[in-house]
Amino acid sequence: MGGLIAQIIMKVVVSLGGSIVASPSINRNFILSYVDMVLRLKKEDISISTVVGGGKIARDYIEAARSFGASEEFCDEIGILATRMNASLILSALGEWAEKRIPVDVEKVEDDNVVMGGTLPGHTTDAVSAMLASKIKADLLINASNVDGIYDKDPREFPEAIMLLRVGSKELLGIIKGEHMAGITTILDIKAAKIIIRNRIRTFVLNGRDLENMERAIKGKSFNGTEVVL
């Protein structure tokens, strides 16, 4: 009896903070290790899309442009350029620069394994990754930045802040600051949180520097970080 055996592919979107990829300067070793993980997981039918953040280069350029009087929208546009510069590095390391281009609009994405940066002013790449996860019907969204997870308050301001292993939707919306400003750093932007909650996207927040931990999270094993409970 012939017949097709459906191949089960797990789809993951990783929001990869620019703070890990290129802050203070390009982190070649990290990029190579990340790409190595992506290519290895591909062979195990786990397809990873990456949305790359702007990191220091985005913030430096935004600050300078703002000091010259540029509008917030224009500063956002500058931030988007920085995210695409960083995304270009991941695409280069994946060896996919010849056949792929960086999508600029989530709605036009048809692939399960894209590399992209920002899209439009008014949000960060966290929101883009949530939109992408919703568009490609991803099984999991991983927010990977340089902090270990979601804290009950900003750990940079409050040393007594506690990292939460699980966070519910109401609590999440309470923790996140609502207003967008170019270059602002919050663990997840408000738009991302709303998309995650509305579309019930399985989401983990963890430190992207620890790739072994990220791989454990992707494979459903116990990991260090925060799970958004929907």
Contact call for residue 53 and ligand UTP (CB under 6 A): yes
Residue 110: closest CA among 137, 83, 89:
137
To 5 degrees, how large is the angle CA 110–CA 112–CA 117?
Answer: 80
Which H or E run includes 227? strand 226-229
- Least distance (Å) between residue 123 CB and ligand UTP: 5
Q: By C-beta, is 75 or 193 nearer to ligand UTP?
A: 75
Q: By C-beta, is 63 or 212 nearer to ligand UTP?
A: 63
Q: By C-beta, is 10 or 109 nearer to ligand UTP?
A: 109
Restricting to residues 119-158, which ones interact with ligand UTP according to CB under 6 A?
A: 119-121, 123-125, 128, 145
Q: Which residue is nearest to ligand UTP (CB)?
A: 79
Q: By C-beta, is 15 or 113 nearer to ligand UTP?
A: 15
Restricting to residues 61-80, which ones interact with ligand UTP according to CB under 6 A?
A: 75-76, 79-80
- Least distance (Å) between residue 222 CB and ligand UTP: 25
SS3 letters across 69-115: CCCHHHHHHHHHHHHHHHHHHHHHHHCCCCCCCCCCCHHHCCCCCCE
Instruction: Write each residue from 166 to 195 as x if it is in contact with ligand UTP (CB under 6 A), else as -, in one continuous string.
Output: ----------------xxxx----------
* Only segment of 15-23, 41-49, 94-102, 147-155 that touches ligand UTP (CB under 6 A): 15-23
Q: By C-beta, is 80 or 201 nearer to ligand UTP?
A: 80
Q: What is the DSSP string of 169-204?
A: HHHHHHHS-----TT---SS-HHHHHHHHHTT--EE
Amino acid making up residue 177 = K
- Least distance (Å) between residue 224 CB and ligand UTP: 18
- Cβ–Cβ < 8 Å for 125, 118: yes
* Only segment of 14-22, 99-107, 151-159, 163-171 that touches ligand UTP (CB under 6 A): 14-22
Please tell me the distance from the alpha carbon of residue 205 to that of residue 189, in angstroms, as a whole number. 12
Cβ burial of 87 (10 Å; 0-12, 13-18, 19+) is buried
Please tell me the distance from the alpha carbon of residue 139 to that of residue 202, in angstroms, as a whole number. 7
Q: Which residues bind ligand UTP (CB under 6 A)?
A: 17-19, 53-55, 58, 75-76, 79-80, 83, 118-121, 123-125, 128, 145, 182-185
